[in-house]
């Protein structure tokens, strides 16, 4: 019996196209090109030590953070792929101060804008720990035919039409949602296809692991300190103490918690009084996916997806994962 029972990412998107209210293949083309770009980034990540792509590029990004060569490479690959899709009219990412306007006529006549963290967890590249790419897709608010404006990218997260991440880990996966559940695809390098491996991902309501950079503990809000102590108390009836797991790549920490149950926390800290993670291209897409898998994503007081962004690179405190765990943390923060 041949093992030809694979569902490729493209098969799946086309099959699900009817679910997408205004799909006339537009979203299909966008997701297909994102998948292709992810394969290109993956091939560089997989041999990073060999292709002069490690290390710092010698430039700083908009937040004065050292840009890794792979950050810039990934940014360029996704920009080219999204332009080539013919369905994207503009792009915003961690690696560029301002939004990138696609001026080609075919692009100006398209309907979608994409916000990305092209390479998440950059500090982990040189030490061979998992990294990721995160994307968030909105319908434009500016009129078709015109050039995109900043306001196209500053929509609240609940208006996303799709979001996803790629995780370049022990295997490479692409996980996305269009608002009808979350599905995961694993790259089969022997055929160069993302194949459906995790249909309809749902997150357990509670888990036994928490993820936080405890190095920042002294400056955490009291409610977070209280919650961490709660996780560490011994109470067999609630399966505590929980396990602490922290990779330092948002995509890896979120993916593990989503599959197994758990909570990820990046509170405000000494070096990041507003929180470190960026709302537009890290927290919003992850929040959409986490909620679609049955979890919760909060800034400690309110739902991430309800926040109206004022700036492309604004940061926020971020708590996401199993519903019962995030709800308990919110209670301790109140
Ligand atoms: P990026 O590499 O895109 O800047 O993102 C890094 C982020 C996120 O991936 C991770 O959760 C967080 O930084 C880890 O921060 P700390 O090293 O301060 O814990
Ligand atoms: Mn990131
Ligand atoms: Mn990044």
List pLDDT tens digits, range 26-51.
888 999 999 999 999 999 988 877 76
- Gap between the Cα atoms of 82 and 87, Å rounded: 7
- Cα 61 to chain center, whole Å? 19
Ligand 1 near 250 CB (within 6 A): yes
Ligand 1 near 248 CB (within 6 A): yes
Residues in the chain: 334
Top pLDDT among 5 and 232 is at 232
List pLDDT tens digits, range 87-111.
999 999 999 999 999 999 999 999 9
Domains of the chain: 9-198 (3.30.540.10), 209-333 (3.40.190.80)
Q: Is the pLDDT of residue 313 over 70?
A: yes
Mean pLDDT of the chain: 93
Cβ neighbours of residue 40 closer than 8 Å, sequence gap 6 or more: 77, 81
DSSP β-bridge partners for residue 66? 60
- Gap between the Cα atoms of 265 and 319, Å rounded: 5
Band (pLDDT 50/70/90 cuts) for residue 2 is: low
Q: Which DSSP category does 283 fall into?
A: I
Q: Is the pLDDT of residue 270 over 80?
A: yes
Top pLDDT among 13 and 317 is at 317
Q: CA-CA distances (angstroms) from residue 320 to 13, 158, 262, 294, 314?
A: 27, 15, 9, 11, 18
DSSP secondary structure of 77-93: HHHHHHHHHS-EEEEEE
Q: Does the global pTM surpass 0.85?
A: yes
Band (pLDDT 50/70/90 cuts) for residue 330 is: very high
Instruction: Report the percentage of the chain scoring pLDDT > 90.
Output: 82
**Mean pLDDT (whole number) for 45-62:** 73
Helix (H, G, I), strand (E, B) or coil at 308: coil
Question: Of the residues 116, 121, 313, which should be mutated to test ligand 1's pocket, given the most ligand atoms within 8 Å of the CB?
Answer: 121
Band (pLDDT 50/70/90 cuts) for residue 15 is: confident
């Amino acid at each position: 019996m041949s093992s030809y029972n694979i569902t490729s990412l493209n098969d799946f998107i086309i099959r699900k196209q009817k679910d997408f209210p205004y799909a006339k293949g537009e979203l299909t083309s966008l997701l297909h090109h994102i998948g292709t770009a992810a394969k290109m980034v993956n091939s560089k990540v997989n041999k990073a030590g060999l292709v002069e792509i490690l290390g710092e590029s010698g430039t700083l990004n908009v937040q004065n953070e050292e840009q890794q060569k792979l950050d810039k490479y990934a940014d360029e690959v996704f920009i080219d792929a999204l332009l080539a899709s013919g369905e994207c009219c503009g792009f915003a990412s961690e690696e560029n101060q301002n939004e990138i306007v696609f001026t080609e006529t075919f692009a100006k006549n398209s309907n979608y804008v994409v916000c990305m963290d092209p390479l998440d967890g950059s500090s982990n590249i040189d030490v061979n720990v998992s990294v990721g790419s995160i994307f968030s897709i909105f319908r434009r608010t500016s009129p078709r035919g015109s050039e995109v404006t900043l306001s196209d990218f500053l929509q609240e997260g609940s208006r996303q039409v799709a979001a996803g991440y790629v995780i370049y880990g022990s295997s490479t996966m692409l996980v996305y949602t269009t608002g009808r559940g979350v599905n995961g695809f694993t790259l089969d390098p022997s055929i160069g296809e993302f194949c459906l491996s995790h249909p309809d991902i749902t997150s357990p309501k509670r888990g036994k692991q928490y993820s936080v950079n405890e190095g920042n503990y002294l400056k955490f809000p009291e409610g977070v300190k209280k919650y961490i102590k709660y996780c560490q108390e011994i109470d067999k009836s609630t399966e505590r103490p929980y396990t602490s797991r922290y990779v330092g790549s948002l995509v890896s920490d979120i993916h593990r918690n989503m599959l197994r149950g758990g909570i990820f926390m990046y509170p405000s800290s000494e070096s990041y009084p507003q929180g470190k993670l960026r709302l537009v291209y890290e927290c919003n897409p992850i929040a959409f996916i986490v909620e679609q898998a049955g979890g919760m994503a909060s800034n400690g007081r309110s739902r991430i997806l309800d926040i109206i962004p004022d700036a492309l690179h604004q940061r926020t405190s971020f708590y996401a994962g199993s519903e019962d765990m995030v709800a308990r943390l919110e209670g301790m923060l109140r």
